[in-house]
Structure 1
Amino acid sequence: MNIKKYITGLGICLLAQGVFAQNGDFIGSLSRQNAWVDSVYKSMSKKERIGQLFYVRAHTNKGKMYEDSVAKVIQEEHIGGLVFFQGGPVRHANLINNYQRLSKVPLLIAMDGEWGLGMRLDSSTSYPYQMTLGAIQDNNLIYKMGQMIAFDFKRLGLHINFAPDMDINNNPNNPVINYRSFGDNKYNVAQKGIAYFKGMQDAGLIVFAKHFPGHGDTNVDSHYDLPLLPFTRNRLDSLEEYPFRQAIAAGISGVMIAHMNIPALDTTQNLPSTLSRPIVTGLLKDSLGFKGIVASDAMEMKGVTKFFPKGEADLRAFLAGNDLIELSENSKLAAKLILKAIRKKRITSEEFEAKIKKLLAAKYWAGLNQYKPTSPLNIISDINRPAASQFFQQLSDAAITVVKGDAHIMGQDPLKKTAIVSIGVDRPTVFQKELSKWYPNSMIFLVGKSNPVNELKQMLLSLKKFDQVFISIHDMRTRPQSKLDYSSDVRLLIADLASRPNCVTSVFANPYTIAGLPGIEKSSGLLVGYQKDDALQRSAVKVITGVIKPLGKLPVTINTYFTTGMGMRF
């Protein structure tokens, strides 16, 4: 037994059990009488109470002047928390400690970490994208990943993860959700989302299902404009809202509202759902009975500020029923507008008090009533522990999906003359290096995204001398988009190779990219690896060589050849 690995895993397990035993059910804790919450609330002025609504942006990669400007906001506006973005883990931990010292009431510290700290930070572990996780059939692995991520967050002094994404991505061209979703099957999305959030929440993190009531079938990115969701109430009830209803029933601590115009739910022209009381309070809180924290999506996004600038969006979000206002463009101005609205009784004193006490109760649940600074010692080694990379590999092995072929076709003959071709790269890949160990009579070929036609023709001539070909297709961009940025000539090369006998193709890219590679379906074997990471490449080699059995199933429909739920087992 690997003792170090066992101790790390045991520590995470005990951490989860200990926090859960101490804090108990999050939703239930919000409604219980709490002496600390009452005491803190009574000690605050109205301005300080309003400040608790606001969570502002923080970085450690923008210099001292930026950090000082955030410190000033903490001291002057008495904000409730911070949302950390890019930077480094040690710098983050140190700055969190500094900011906590400046705040009269301890701050809740948040981050978007859908695939872990590595989504935002350098020198930090990432886990697979949610689309990759959607292929995994054992949801216990997703729960365990949630616990691992909670350990990392808490190690830095973070209390909130704005995850999981519980949108159903049934639009392959979705520019903002896409690979961040578990897939296009509402049941799979709900089950994976619940497993993930329970892992985090049981380990002491406050989590948010997003983006209610569902951002998966849009072709507009709400960071840049206001998307229209034109569907009927019946469609929204039965599809988009389904994962959120299930998450609420399972006890999720938070829900984040999307910036979308949804006429079936609110006919007000150009009104984002974030600012709609019929959606936030009427639907989410009253109809669906959600009692946890309701957070706006980032209030600096054009989807909300385009029609409601200068603090008006924040005021409307507050009046609509949001409890937590994330990333206001001008929190100072917005706070003044909210104070004026309270004085004019546009919100009852009971609703306002309940809102602030709910946020304070969340701080108590997170342990901030007994706040302790984070130790920066050994942070890098703690969050990049061997167990993390080993677990990434375990998740990858469980996700790798075979949509065409069997064991005989996959393995081919190790003694035959073999070509191993990686496309979209400029250096030998992990896939090539690992696979060549099994095929001693092999040669490696590299193809860029737009090699000249004469080079491609020469390669095709050379490849005629080989008995079998393994192709790997790579998207090396930071985020795996639905369409590869390959030249038409390189696409034709892929189609030509796929049509040859004994050709096995592995795609380490967004699964939707397969639809843009006509002819790839003619491959004797086809594996889906979902993303560019080395772990997925190793998993593909393991399947090809018979070391592991393929267990993954497609989480989305790609085209008529490859549909949701497909996945060969042998």
Structure 2
Amino acid sequence: MKKTIPLLGAVLALVIVGAVFVIWQQNQSTSDSTNETSSSQSTSQTSSQNSSESSTSSESTESSDPILKQIEAMTIEEKVGQLFLARYPGEIAVSDSQTYHIGGYLLFGADFENETADSLLNKIQALQSDKEIPMFIGADEEGGTVTRISRNPNLAASPFQSPQAIYQANGWEGIAADTVQKAEILTSYGIQLGLFPVADVATDPNAFIYERTIGQDAKGTSTFVETVVNSLKETQVVSTLKHFPGYGNNLDSHIEIVRDERPIEELRQNDFLPFQAGIKAGVDSILVSHNIVTSIDPDVPASISPKINHVLRDELGFNGVVMTDDMDMVGLADFISQEEAGLAALKAGNDLVLSSSYAVQIPTVVQAVKNGDYSEAALDTSVERILRLKQRLGMME
């Protein structure tokens, strides 16, 4: 009996020690689990907070962009109007600019006739009066055979010479000086678009476009383009290359439908080069011709061809403003109705439509946006390009 008591005591001690150990293990496990849960919750909260902060930061950045805020506040009608550079309609110009929310007016030679410096300034200031978004005012001032404002001796000392004449007399320095002088005169009257330089490569003196070009091969034309684009960078005048994808020695699309049968490789090795040079130099805008370029799109004129726009955007990498040539030119007008033409040009990827028939085309585009035939996302993209260009020129507050 005496031997049994110590044995029982030993067993009891072992049981107590075992129980204590089990309880300690359970407490330790619970503590670890609690710590892991707490750590997981903390990590989750931190991640969620970071995500929220990132989202808030992104939203804040977007909403603080004045251009995006402007677009958000615009009606469909106001947005569509920005995509039209309308031919100046004379006495109804101010009222139409308000009715159709027109993005800009293009003035021709007749619009400058009999104007004095003061009367022209008053005319243009009247167009800009009370505009929340200032209008582009444009006039072709290539020099030589295409001059508008400098034809009037009240507005310029003499008409600007052609690029070929200037180059022959004073080389590339002369081209640069001429470009700056053009910009100074245009800016002094509140004109932002001079619609130059001509980037077409034409070496045949009998070709329609030849007199308007620098008259050199692709390399010389590229140097010409670079010189003009770089000279315009420090001014408030937009640089515009024309007429993509290149006229070459083709006929005149002002008076007939033109089919350019050259293979795409010839265009890439020749006509595209000045446009690529201009894009590399930072050109603001590129104007697309009405020629049917069969190696790219045999079915429709370039100005309403998504395939042409694809080459310009994706192959050449241009992200600026793409505009059409005048929609009233026979090369397009004999192909598609004016009512359809504006919408077709925008759906093809153009940002700015040069139009005399804006009173028909703008309502057509507005309706297309409302019924989903032309997406508002595409509309907003083009409006943003237009407004950012106006912002670069100091036109946007």
Amino acid at match of 2:322: V
State the match for 1:187 in structure 2: 219
- Does residue 225 (structure 1) correspond to residue 253 (structure 2)? The answer is no
Match of 2:385 among 358, 365, 383: 358
Match of 1:162 among 184, 195, 205: 195
**CA-CA distance at 1:147 after TM superposition:** 1.3
- Does residue 273 (structure 1) correspond to residue 296 (structure 2)? The answer is no
**CA-CA distance at 1:362 after TM superposition:** 1.3
State the match for 1:367 in structure 2: 394
Match of 2:104 among 68, 81, 97: 81
- Does residue 314 (structure 1) correspond to residue 347 (structure 2)? The answer is no
State the match for 1:147 in structure 2: 180
**CA-CA distance at 1:222 after TM superposition:** 1.0
- Does residue 49 (structure 1) correspond to residue 72 (structure 2)? The answer is no
State the match for 1:485 in structure 2: none
State the match for 1:35 in structure 2: 65
State the match for 1:261 in structure 2: 292
**CA-CA distance at 1:225 after TM superposition:** 1.1
Instruction: For residue 339 of structure 1, give the secondary structure of its aligned residue in structure 2.
Output: helix
Structure 1 pair 172/116, CA: closer, same or farther in 2 (3 Å)?
closer
Q: Deviations over 1:346-370 (max 9, x none)?
A: 4443322111011111111111124
Structure 1 pair 241/34, CA: closer, same or farther in 2 (3 Å)?
farther
State the match for 1:133 in structure 2: 166
Percent of pairs with identical residues: 24
**CA-CA distance at 1:338 after TM superposition:** 1.5
The structure with more radius of gyration = 2
CA contact (8 A) 1:208 1:253 kept: yes
Structure 1 pair 33/246, CA: closer, same or farther in 2 (3 Å)?
farther
**CA-CA distance at 1:171 after TM superposition:** 2.9
Unmatched segments (≥5 aa) in structure 2: 1-61
Amino acid at match of 1:96: I
**CA-CA distance at 1:142 after TM superposition:** 1.6
State the match for 1:105 in structure 2: 133
Q: Deviations over 1:278-300 (max 9, x none)?
A: 002x1001111101110100111
Instruction: For residue 389 of structure 2, give the secondary structure of its aligned residue in structure 1.
Output: helix
CA contact (8 A) 2:218 2:270 kept: yes
State the match for 2:312 in structure 1: 284
Unmatched segments (≥5 aa) in structure 1: 1-31, 59-65, 371-570
CA contact (8 A) 1:228 1:262 kept: yes
Inter-partner Cα distance in structure 1 for 2:145 and 2:120: 11
CA contact (8 A) 1:116 1:149 kept: no
Match of 2:362 among 329, 332, 335: 335
- Does residue 196 (structure 1) correspond to residue 228 (structure 2)? The answer is yes
Amino acid at match of 2:91: D
CA contact (8 A) 2:146 2:212 kept: no
| RMSD between superposed Cα atoms in Å | 2.1
Greater helix fraction, Structure 1 or Structure 2:
2
CA contact (8 A) 1:36 1:369 kept: no
Amino acid at match of 1:145: D
Q: Report the TM-score, using the length of structure 1 for normalisation.
A: 0.55
Q: Deviations over 1:156-176 (max 9, x none)?
A: 00111100001111332223x
Inter-partner Cα distance in structure 1 for 2:356 and 2:287: 18
**CA-CA distance at 1:339 after TM superposition:** 2.2
**CA-CA distance at 1:89 after TM superposition:** 5.1
Structure 1 pair 231/34, CA: closer, same or farther in 2 (3 Å)?
farther
Inter-partner Cα distance in structure 1 for 2:160 and 2:196: 13
How many equivalent residue pairs? 326
Inter-partner Cα distance in structure 2 for 1:241 and 1:134: 22
Inter-partner Cα distance in structure 1 for 2:63 and 2:253: 39
CA contact (8 A) 1:227 1:260 kept: yes
